[in-house]
């Protein structure tokens, strides 16, 4: 408790003096003793010349006895009231005394009694307040410890309390259920394979994988401290996220399988488009060319022959346009170069086709040691670049696009930038931005990160990093 909180102001002294412990008989005994001393003083004052100044003022100093007792017994409530009562009784006798030579001495003695009574009472009151505060603090500590022990015991998540030496000093029933009651007094490293220092740096987002009696667990580790000083302990709360992580992996596996199935279906459609409709259309176009040549030779009517020739040429042109569309669709579904040549050649082909279709320059920069990657990684990288370039061309209205590929040790980085109209990347979670969500999903499946930055009027950039 602070010093200022225990100091009593003058108004409080008066308030306590006006509220003495009237129901306590001992208080009244003290007040009767004050009255008796007043009577003794009056008797001595009658024979003032015989006893002298010092003896005459002695009863006033004897007031220190009841005032001091009141202070010790009742605190400021008793001492202030007793001093106040003594002053009321004594002042009339002082000023009505016929011996004016001792008036100043008696007045000073009375002031000393009052000051001592208030100071001693204040000191006792202060100590009582400190004692009360400590008692309340102890009660609060016991109650809080009781609540902590209750929560400690009832929490379903395992909790381990570890001392400064790394020894487990306590564990809740949930921890006993996982590690057994023999966990007490064990070194925390033998349980979690990490020291207390290493545990303090484990992020809550990271899963702590533990194997106990052949069973595998995944925990989210939350570390805090309890207590203070030498009794300070490290509290390790382990949230069991085994099922949660298993479900997460199942969802990721399903999403990956779904995308692979989607790619297989794209490959099948692309192959069928190339093998059947496209070849048929090209065959029809060649047959029309042959018919056109034959008609030109056999038609006697020159004008009529020219008209038929023009019609056939128009049909041939339409067929070739349809063939180009089917070829582009087939290559967009599954570029043949992606399987045979790899990610970089397929990306170069995508850039050439995009520049030709939209008449917008797209620069490609490659650094590091170019090498073939796993099929899933190359496919994911190509689809993300394909979607990023497509979004920029269709929605950003850029005058140029830059693609930067960097092969690093154990990592490949991709940067796609444009100088288009930009957008607010925080508003991209709706169904109208499924392409962006698909890019993020592919990056997550590859174990990488995708960061989208942009600002209205200042273009957009997509940064992708994937471990290889």
Angle formed at CA 147 by CA 174 and CA 140, multiple of 5 degrees: 155
Q: Which two tokens stand for residue 289?
A: 């060319």
467 in helix, strand or coil? Answer: strand
Q: How far is CA 308 from CA 282, 297, 305, 319, 384, in A?
A: 20, 12, 5, 17, 48
Q: 71 exposed, middle or buried (CB, 10 Å; 0-12, 13-18, 19+)?
A: buried
Residue 57 pLDDT > 60: no
Q: CA 436 to CA 391: how far, in whole Å?
A: 9
pLDDT, tens digit, 9 for 90 and up, residues 78-133: 777 777 777 777 777 666 554 555 567 667 777 777 787 777 777 777 777 788 88
What percent of the chain is modeled with pLDDT above 90?
A: 12
d(CA 318, CA 4): 97
Beta-bridge mates of residue 362: 401
Greater confidence (75 vs 298) lies with 75
Cα 183 to Cα 169, 213, 445, distances in angstroms = 9, 13, 38
Task: Categorize the per-residue pLDDT at 13 as very low, low, confident or very high, splitting at 50, 70 and 90.
Answer: low
* One-character DSSP codes across 254-266: HHHHHHHHHHHHH
Which band of pLDDT confidence, cut at 50, 70 and 90, is reported for residue 225?
confident
Q: Confidence class of residue 268 from pLDDT cuts 50, 70 and 90?
A: low
- Whether 443 and 384 have beta carbons less than 8 Å apart is answered as yes
Query: What is the per-residue pLDDT for 266?
Result: 66
- For residue 434, count other CB atoms closer than 10 A to its CB: 11
Q: What's the whole-number mean pLDDT along residues 421-443?
A: 69
How far apart CA 2 and CA 133 sit, in angstroms, is 11
H-state helical runs in 183-301: 188-192, 196-200, 242-275, 277-298
Q: How far apart are CA 62 and CA 82, in angstroms?
A: 13
Q: What is the mean pLDDT of residues 207-219?
A: 83
Confidence bin at 12 (pLDDT 50/70/90) = low
Instruction: For residue 373, give the nearest of 404, 410, 348, 331 by alpha carbon.
Output: 410
Please, which contacts does 128-135 make with residues 24 or more away whose CB atoms are closer than 8 Å? Answer: 128/75, 129/1, 129/5, 129/6, 130/1, 130/6, 133/1, 134/1
* Distances 440 to 272, 391, 392, 402, 456 between C-alpha atoms, Å: 30, 14, 16, 20, 21
Helix axes 76-96, 103-154, angle to 10 degrees: 170
In the block, residue with structure tokens 């992020």: 203
- Quick one: tokens of 319? 């067929």
d(CA 74, CA 68): 10
Tokens of 104: 């100043």
The dihedrals phi and psi of 186, each to the nearest 5 degrees, come to: -85, 155
pLDDT band at 462 (very low <50, low <70, confident <90, very high): very high
Lowest mean pLDDT among 5-14, 154-163, 352-361: 5-14
Per-residue model confidence as pLDDT tens digits over 130-167: 888 888 888 887 777 777 677 777 788 888 889 888 89
**89, 87, 85: which is closest to 109 by C-alpha?**
87
Tell me the average pLDDT across 227-242.
82
CA dist 311 and 299 (Å) reads 14
The 10s digit of each residue's pLDDT in 293-330 is 666 666 555 555 566 667 677 777 777 766 666 666 65
Classify 417 as helix, strand or coil. Answer: strand
425 CB-near residues (< 8 Å, 6+ apart): 452, 453, 454, 460
Chain position carrying tokens 């309390």? 161
- For the entire predicted model, the pTM comes to 0.43
Which residue shows structure tokens 């070829």?
327
């Amino acid at each position: 408790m602070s010093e200022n909180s225990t100091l009593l102001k003058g108004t409080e002294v008066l308030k306590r003096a006006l509220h003495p412990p009237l129901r306590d008989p001992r208080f009244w005994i003290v007040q009767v003793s004050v009255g008796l001393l007043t009577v003794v003083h009056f008797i001595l004052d009658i024979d003032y010349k015989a006893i002298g100044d010092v003896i005459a003022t002695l009863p006033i100093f004897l007031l220190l006895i009841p005032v001091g007792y009141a202070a010790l017994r009742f605190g400021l409530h008793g001492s202030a009231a007793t001093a106040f009562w003594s002053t009321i009784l004594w002042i009339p006798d002082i000023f009505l005394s016929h011996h004016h030579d001792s008036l100043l001495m008696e007045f000073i003695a009375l002031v000393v009694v009052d000051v001592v009574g208030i100071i001693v009472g204040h000191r006792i009151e202060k100590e009582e307040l400190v004692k009360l505060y400590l008692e309340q603090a102890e009660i609060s500590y016991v109650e809080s410890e009781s609540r902590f022990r209750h929560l400690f015991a009832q929490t379903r998540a395992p909790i381990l309390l570890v001392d400064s030496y790394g020894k487990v000093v306590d564990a809740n029933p949930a921890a006993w259920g996982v590690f057994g009651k023999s966990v007490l007094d064990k070194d925390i490293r033998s349980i979690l394979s990490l020291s207390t220092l290493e545990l303090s740096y484990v992020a809550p987002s990271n899963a702590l994988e533990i194997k106990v009696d052949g069973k595998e667990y995944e925990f989210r580790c939350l570390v805090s401290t309890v207590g203070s000083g030498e009794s300070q302990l490290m509290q390790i709360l382990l949230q069991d996220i085994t099922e949660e992580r298993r479900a997460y992996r199942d969802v990721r596996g399903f999403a990956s399988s779904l995308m692979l199935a989607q790619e297989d279906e794209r490959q099948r459609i692309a192959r069928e488009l190339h093998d059947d409709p496209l070849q048929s259309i090209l065959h029809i176009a060649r047959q029309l060319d042959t018919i056109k040549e034959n008609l030109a030779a056999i038609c006697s009517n020159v004008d009529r022959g020219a008209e038929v020739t023009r019609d056939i040429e128009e049909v041939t042109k339409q067929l070739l346009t349809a063939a180009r569309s089917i070829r582009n669709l087939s290559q967009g579904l599954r570029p043949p170069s992606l399987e045979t040549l790899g990610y970089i050649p397929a990306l170069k082909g995508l850039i050439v086709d995009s520049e030709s279709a939209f008449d917008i320059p797209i620069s490609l920069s490659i650094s590091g040691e170019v090498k073939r990657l796993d099929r899933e990684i190359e496919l994911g990288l190509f689809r993300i670049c394909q979607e990023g370039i497509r979004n920029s061309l269709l929605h950003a209205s850029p005058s140029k696009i830059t693609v930067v590929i960097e092969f690093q040790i154990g990592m490949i980085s991709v940067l796609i930038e444009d100088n288009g109209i930009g957008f607010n990347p925080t508003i991209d979670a709706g169904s109208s931005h499924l392409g962006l969500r698909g890019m993020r999903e592919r990056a997550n499946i590859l174990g990488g990160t995708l960061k989208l930055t942009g600002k209205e009027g200042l273009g957009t950039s997509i940064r992708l990093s994937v471990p290889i």
